[in-house]
Amino acid sequence: KFAVRKSKTKLLDIGINVGPTGSLNPYAVLLPVDVNGVMVKRATLHNEDYINTKDLRIGDQVIVERAGDVIPKVVDSVVEERNGSEIPFKFPSVCPSCLYKVVRLEGESTVICLNVSCPARLERSIEHFVSKVAMDIQGMGPRIVRILIENNLINNLPDIFQLKINDLIILDGMGQKKAENLVKAINDSKTRPFSNFLVALGIPYLGIESAAILANHFAYMENLVKGTHDELLSLPSIGDKIAQSIIDYFANESNLGTVNALNELGVGIG
C-alpha cells in the first residue's frame, strides 16, 4: 500500500448540503481515489468563495489532499489538463430542498435558506439536536431521524419527546428492543445540562464552549432570554457575532415557542 498524501482525480460534480441553520454547504463529488490508503469520494468545499477562488470547474482534474491524513480537501484544479468541456459552477440561488430563494448577507461567506419550514433544515436541525454534544440521544442517528420525519412522527423538536414505543415498533428495521432503547434515551436526555441544551437549539456560532460560558453566567433559560447585548458582550469569548446571534434567536417568536414547548415537556430545565 503506497503512502500517497496527495492524489489527482476528477471532480464529477458539486453538491449542496443544507445545514441545521439553513446554510448551504458545498461539497465535491469525486471519482473515488486512493489518498494515503483511504478511498476518497467526497470532500468539503467550505463555501461559495472557496470554489471561486480556486476556480474549480465540474469535470476538472483536481488535487485532493487529506489534511493530517484525516479530512480530505480539494486543494487545486489542474488547469493544464482542461479540454474545454469543464463547466464553471454557479452557486444555487434557491434552496435545493425547498426551492426558496437563498440569501448571502453582506460580509458573510455563507449562503443561507431562510425558510423556517424547509424540510432539509428540519431534518438537519433534529440531527444536530440529538447529537453527542447536544442532547446525546443514543440510537437516533441520521437514518432514524429521516424515517421518523418520513412517517410524520416528527415535525418539530418537541415531537421527539412525544414518541411512544408503539409508534416506533411498526417502523422498518425497528423492533421491540430498539424502540425501548430509543424511548429511554429520549427520556434520559431531558436532564442534560443547560449548556448542552443550549447547543442543541442550534443557534448559529454557538458551540459547546461558548454555551458553557453562557450556562455558567445565566444558569437558567429565563435569565438568558432576558440577557441584553451588552451583558452578553461582557462575557469572555462572546463577541458581537455570537451576542447578536443569540439576541436574534430569542427575538424570533417561533424559536421562543419551541423553547417553551420543550420546557413544558420537561426538557432543558435546570
Partner DNA sequence: CATACTTCTACGCGCCTATA
Partner DNA sequence: TATAGGCGCGTAGAAGTATG
Nine cell digits for residue 39:
478511498
Q: Using CA atoms, how far apart are residues 9 and 60, in angstroms rounded to an integer?
A: 8
Nearer residue to DNA within complex by CB, 170 or 257: 170
Member of 108, 222, 248, 264 binding DNA (CB under 7 A): 108
DSSP string, the chain: ----SEEEEEEEEEEEEEPTTSBEEEEEEEEEEEETTEEEEEEE--SHHHHHHTT-EET-EEEEEEETTTEEEEEEE-GGG--S--EEPPPPSB-TTT-PBEEE-TT-S-EEE--TT-HHHHHHHHHHHHSTTTT--TT--HHHHHHHHHTTS-SSGGGGGG--HHHHHTSTT--HHHHHHHHHHHHHGGG--HHHHHHHTT-TT--HHHHHHHHHHH-SHHHHHH--HHHHHTSTT--HHHHHHHHHHHH-HHHHHHHHHHHHTT-S--
Member of 6, 88, 241, 247 binding DNA (CB under 7 A): 241
* String marking each residue 39-58 x if it binds DNA according to CB under 7 A: xxxxxx-xx-xx--------
Member of 4, 8, 12, 25 binding DNA (CB under 7 A): 25
Does position 1 interact with DNA (CB under 7 A)? The reply is: no
Site for DNA in 183-212 (CB under 7 A): 205-211
Member of 52, 109, 216, 254 binding DNA (CB under 7 A): 109
Member of 10, 54, 73, 217 binding DNA (CB under 7 A): 73
Member of 95, 140, 154, 198 binding DNA (CB under 7 A): 140
Member of 2, 68, 85, 106 binding DNA (CB under 7 A): 68
Q: What angle do CA 41, 47, 51 make, to 5 degrees?
A: 70
Part of the chain binding DNA (CB under 7 A), chosen from 83-91, 139-147, 159-167, 223-231: 139-147
Member of 80, 177, 253, 270 binding DNA (CB under 7 A): 177
- Tell me the site size for DNA, rule CB under 7 A: 59
Nearer residue to DNA within complex by CB, 74 or 221: 74
Nearer residue to DNA within complex by CB, 39 or 260: 39
Residues that bind DNA (CB under 7 A): 17, 19, 25, 27, 38-44, 46-47, 49-50, 67-73, 108-109, 132-133, 138-145, 172-178, 181, 205-211, 233, 235-243
